[in-house]
Structure 1
């Protein structure tokens, strides 16, 4: 027996206690993976020795193996805490520009806007293009705009989800009505003389009145009545033209009362706008001939142009929202819907009576939109923006519009533009998407956290700070995203605890202590044997 066996046992037991102590010390370290000392025996043999004649000379530490079992996941509620549930490591770039890998997901945002670990290493991920939504194929250090606002985006589309009430009646045309009569009232000058005998002759338009009437098509036609005194007392000829030589009628007045005696209703034949004629009666029964004054007024009785009877004002079915120009200035856009025919609605962007519709929606008998889904709107930035920006086009998507028998309602109305805004918060979702929220109300994916895996994780080299680096034994890192293939999923707002089993480690420590004591006893026994040999007489 030699001292070598006992001495080697003391060494490996001491190293085993070191490993156990390291595990116990990191029982509360986020993402820590326990290690295990693995032993191998030492043999002494000479060439040609038979297999049964060799004997052991002790023990050695063959390896200190890391145990990459899953640690418990503890919810923290911190938006930037992330735990990996399954295979994979976070890839980080250390201050010396080298790459490392960690399971500790307690990230932070530094003053430069970089997403970093507790040790200051930058977290790697795949950047997402805010316009296309596509991510990069190569992992980059994740950084966010904390020092300057994001650029404004002009609105390019509006999406509306709404229902137009199917019970609304279409406008009803009201046909034109021709004027049936005109009524003249007033007084003719009783001292007037024979117009033809006067020197010079009295102009025909001296005693006249005018009124407008409607023809059968609703067109406005002017009617003029001229009164010309004859040589007979109390008699007046009535003309409808300054050039006509034939009167349309004659009226006489009672010499005593001054009231009209004959000719109170004179039939007129008027020419319509389409060259056809239509009759109108001139009611002169209310006229008088008294004194030396002239005052006659006239008005039409009945008649109207063709009109459209609307079921409701245009503003009844309307909605509005703000869109943004290229400088991020909000401009209001109004949308109004007016039923024009069975299953048809006109779309307007103004309440002006002269405004033309920007599009027409047509529904089938089931209330489903069959045409008019996409409408182009021309938006004028002024007066909201005084910088003389040109008008810009916005696509109005109404493909989800319906026409059912319920009240007009807008279920959703959104647009894709926004003003400039400052970063307010960052959240990491379970799929690794880093969602950034801005002061303008925009929340969008800016990046996706990258995960790395190795063919042989046991070959990774621990470098401290909860980090490992790849080695020849581990093989190169294989990059991916959470949940893809054999990559684990993420749990946001949580951290992975150390996988150290404290109870097991304490038991292992007692076992290692006993092993140390036993090896010390073999050395003591060997010493006693040597003392016996030395003391032989």
Structure 2
């Protein structure tokens, strides 16, 4: 019996050393989760045990330390959750290794070529549609299409001390700077991305009374006589200098230019004031932009993949999802830093990072191995001594048998 006890002890200690060795070997593996061995005694109908057996090898899914990543697509998880990966055959795997890159078709893949999954943004501008399917995320390499301006905002102050202009004697004429008090210039874009320069002119017509005129100087609308047509808005202020015109929307209109559709949108002037200080319109804004080429991309801390373009714009490409399990310890390891679902793990719950029971996802970070080298070195010494002690029981039993044989 002692032989079987000692042999079981040698086997168990050897397997424990294997676990320790694997932990140490993967101490620098990104996203690796350390293992620990559990033992159970063996009885066979007697009070004297038959030895020991390995009951399980458990994995420690505690967080590793987050460090800086090496590429724009590196990601790290803190808290619950796994990256959801799909193989070319469609099999689903889970990982904590956030080292990702683009393949030749623009898909985000890990070093083994598995596809990182999430929600793909669609439309112009791209957005994630409600109920979107989870699938591989692809980063397009084409140019960002132009977007026509369909709204604008202009907020600022008109100088209450400006001279009143008699429009009977001096009708508004952009060519005559005596027919207006000041002018603001801004850019807008048509459906093809052609840039239009828009001028907004301000004319003080009386105390607390102004008129605003708009003109598309790039491609103005023309009347039957071939003269430019200007859009007009009356602005009224109270004695505190607050705008009382409601709604204060100045129409912006322009003719088609170089094949683009005509401009036609409203400029929101709510929030304008009239005070005894210099006229200042700040930074007027309009929607729309010219086409642009991709400059690069980044992963936000919520898992959104955002691309930046040469036109100064950025747009959403997709959003990475995370998956979590009721019992992560029930996952089965598949190598290459991946696990697969089992009945013991339960079915995955999948969603956006930071929601439900899912942890946070951080861009340009990598989660290091959670192996504690100091602890593993101590365990190695303990299991080595255990191995030596079990070998000693076998040696002792052998000597006893030899003595018995000599007595015979």
Common fold: TM-score over 0.5: yes
Does 2:136 align with 1:141?
A: yes
The alpha carbon displacement at 1:532 in A equals 1.4
Instruction: Measure the CA separation in 2 of the matches of 1:394 and 1:314.
Output: 25
Equivalent in the alignment of 1:61: 54
Q: CA RMSD in A?
A: 2.4
Tell whether the 8 Å contact from 1:124 to 1:450 is kept in structure 2 after alignment. yes
Matched, 1:519 2:395: no
Q: Contact (CA 8 Å) 2:180, 2:204: kept in 1 or not?
A: no
Secondary structure at the aligned position of 2:85 is classed as strand
Q: Displacement, 1:126?
A: 1.9
Q: How does 1:111-122 map to 2 (within 5 A)?
A: 111-122=104-115
TM-score norm. by structure 2 comes to: 0.89
Alpha-carbon contact 1:346-1:357 (below 8 Å) kept? no
Q: What is the rounded CA distance, in whole Å, between the counterparts of 1:401 and 1:132 in structure 2?
A: 33
How much does 1:307 deviate? 2.7
User: What is the alpha-carbon distance in structure 2 between the residues aligned to residue 340 and residue 134 of structure 1?
Assistant: 49
Note if contact 2:166-2:205 (Cα within 8 Å) is conserved in structure 1.
no
Query: Which residue in 1 is equivalent to 2:162?
Result: 168
Measured in 2, the distance between the counterparts of 1:110 and 1:468 equals: 22
CA distance in 2 between partners of 1:127 and 1:66 (Å): 33
Per-residue CA deviation, residues 58-108 of structure 1 (Å, 9 max, x unaligned), is 111111100001101112364322211111111121222211111111221
Partner residue, 1:467: 338
CA distance in 1, matches of 2:277, 2:74: 48
Tell me, yes or no, if structure 1 residue 31 matches structure 2 residue 26.
no
Contact 1:135–1:447 (CA<8 Å) still a contact in 2? no
Number of equivalenced pairs = 393
How far apart are the structure 1 equivalents of 2:155 and 2:341? Answer: 53
| Offset, 1:132 | 7.4
How far does residue 428 in structure 1 lie from its aligned partner after superposition?
0.8
Q: 1:105 aligns with which of 98, 106, 111?
A: 98
**2:234 corresponds to 1:369:** no
Unaligned runs of 5+ in 2: 221-226
**Cα distance change on mapping 1:33 and 1:154 into 2, 3 Å:** same
- The 5 Å alignment of 1:14-413 reads 14-45=14-45, 54-76=47-69, 78-129=71-122, 130-131=124-125, 133-137=127-131, 138-146=133-141, 148-172=142-166, 307=169, 313=178, 316-350=181-215, 356-371=230-245, 372-382=247-257, 385=258, 387=259, 389-413=260-284
The equivalent residue for 2:224 is none
Deviation at 1:446, TM superposition (A): 2.2
8 Å contact 2:20–2:379 — kept in the other structure?
A: yes
Structure 1 residue ranges without an equivalent (≥5): 46-52, 174-305
Query: TM-score when scaled to structure 1?
Result: 0.69
Per-residue CA distance 1:141-176 (angstroms, 9 max, x = gap):
111211x22322211112223222222243358xxx
Seen in structure 2, the aligned counterparts of structure 1 residues 171 and 44 have a Cα distance that, compared at 3 Å, is: same
Residues 412-441 of structure 1 show CA distances to partners (whole Å, capped at 9, x for unaligned) of 222221222222211111122211111222
Aligned-residue offset at 1:133: 4.1
2:223 counterpart residue number = none
**Aligned mates of 2:286, 2:205 — CA distance in 1:** 27
Shift of 1:516: 0.4
**Aligned to 1:18, what secondary structure does the other structure show?**
helix
Are 2:231 and 2:250, in contact at CA under 8 Å, matched by a contact in 1? no
d(CA) in 1 for partners of 2:150 and 2:166? Answer: 37
Greater share of residues in strand: 1
Cα separation, partners in 2 of 1:127 and 1:358, compared to 1, 3 Å: farther
2:170–2:178 Cα contact (<8 Å) kept: no
**1:186-209 residue CA offsets vs partner (Å, 9 max, x unmatched):** xxxxxxxxxxxxxxxxxxxxxxxx
1:410 partner SS: coil
Displacement of 1:522: 0.7
Quote the Cα distance in structure 2 between the aligned partners of 1:482 and 1:425: 23
How far apart in 2 are the matches of 1:434 and 1:160? 32
Change (3 A) 1:314 1:21: farther
